[in-house]
Structure 1
Amino acid sequence: MKNDVGIDKKLISPASPIPLPRKDAVEMPPSGLQQQRWNTKNLGLRLGADLTSAACAASIVAPLIAIIDRSIMENASGRNTLGNSLRASLRTLLRRPHAVLVSKPVALVFMLYGGTYLTANTLDTATATVRNAPAAGVTSGTAKFAASSAANVGLCVYKDQVFVRMFGPPAAHRGPPRPVPLPSYLLFTLRDCLTIFASFNVPPVLGPYLDERVLGASLRSRVGGTTLAQFVAPAAVQLLSTPVHLLGLDLYNRPAGQASWRDRWLQVRKNWAVSAAARICRIVPAFGLGGTVNSKVRKNLMEKLA
């Protein structure tokens, strides 16, 4: 039976009235539109874990890298040979360790790699927080590469402009400090971009090739192509980045007008092999040992805070 407006009266009864919305009711959006929750559990302690792991890794690698970097710069400037500089620094480290461990060069290298590791760690923590992911998770995308590269390049260029003033030619220490020329800054930046590219972009591409074409089944199961590429690629690129580094140093050691480009090339070629070997020795602890320590310490700390 229908009323005047065409509504069936059987569908409406006092026992089952049409429910009206309550004023105090909270409307819930559809499940697909619900706001994603953030993982903020122990966020302050997690950021402390990021800092602790970065500091541990940087503390381990900083003394050795500072010694190697000093020897390369003294060799390029003519202040000392690479071998003699290494021996003198190692002798000081054994006899008077505090003179090396709390020195300005070690502090600069600690700043460089501590800042690089900390940037990567805090980006991982920020990503896990926003995506409500586990605290110990890590990322490997473009954002992490860009942030880590910016931190590493910026801090490394700053470190090198201080090193080149400290360990440059004796004539550079007479009078006020000589400014580092812009071409040297650009060459140092190019050098670091080559190393970062080889450390972050090449291994994922080179690893599968090594697994398929180079490594045997037994070695592939124990090491893996990507792990091997993580050590080989940054070391191999030093053959290309070392002359860039040496040219940047020579432009500071011998300012414009004091040497022709042919003379600069002869100086770079003279120091190329020994400097490349030294830079390969520094890249293994920097991106191998340091990166491993940072990731393992961070993972252990984050799992305890989960």
Structure 2
Amino acid sequence: MNAQSDFTPPDPLPTPLDSFVNHLRDLLGPEVIARLRQNPNLALPYADEDSTDGDWLRRGLQTILSSDDLETVGSRARDLPLTISRPLQQQIENLRWEQLEQQQALTLALEQKQTAETGREQAEIEVFRLRKERAAMLPAAEFVRLFFSTAAETGIRNLLIEATESPTPDLNGFLAAFVGGWTALRALETTLNESPQDAVRQYHQALTDLLSALTGLYIPQRRALLDKVAQWASNHFEDFVFVSPEETRQVDPALHNVQGLGGNTVREGRSFAVIRRQSRTVVIYADIVTE
């Protein structure tokens, strides 16, 4: 007795008529086909009521169409997906090109914007440099009037002019240090930041650098000047206020970082305090040197 073969014949390849029947079945849907099958005018000879919709459609097509017509219609049905999809594929390709062009245009616009912003920042720095060079050739009072010439700098300008009228030994060094720190602060006005918190950190660092440059340099207007600087910086923020560490002569635990301090009197500030405008809560305590 021969062993039973395990070979399973492959499924037959779909014919053009199969393709047409499948498309027609999907197009009509089961509800429409059910009504057609119940129509007495479409009763098919020798039709099996239990046959599938596809078999019923095939029997109907074979009844009303010749074999040549079936071959022609089936061939067209086989090519139908390609015919339908070709315009869609072209539209997809067009959309891809449009998307690519939009991305390229956006990239170019961002690059141009960055170039313009960089150029503006460089121009601002150059203006400050030229003002500083020109002012350096003038007497101190004229230097101050020329360099601190904007309306926002009026308070600072007046205090420095007052200082030049009664000069002290540290005045020239103080002016040189203050101008350098102030130039760095003014440059921040054209710097873009992702959030107000980032801007606060940048301004706070620039103010810290200013105080570092002024270490050991004293003029009678120092405390008042630092108050004006704090006011100027605060005007750039809606929710934050900068406070000079030398606003009061006495150490204030509500404002100053008092950890490790031995004295009760503020000798110099090392950094500005930052508080919230509405709640008046301290965000950054001021570092100081006491005596």
**TM-score band w.r.t. shorter chain:** 0.3 to 0.5
Higher strand share: 2
Length-normalised TM-score, structure 1: 0.34
Higher helix share: 1
Higher relative contact order (CA 8 A, sep 6+): 1
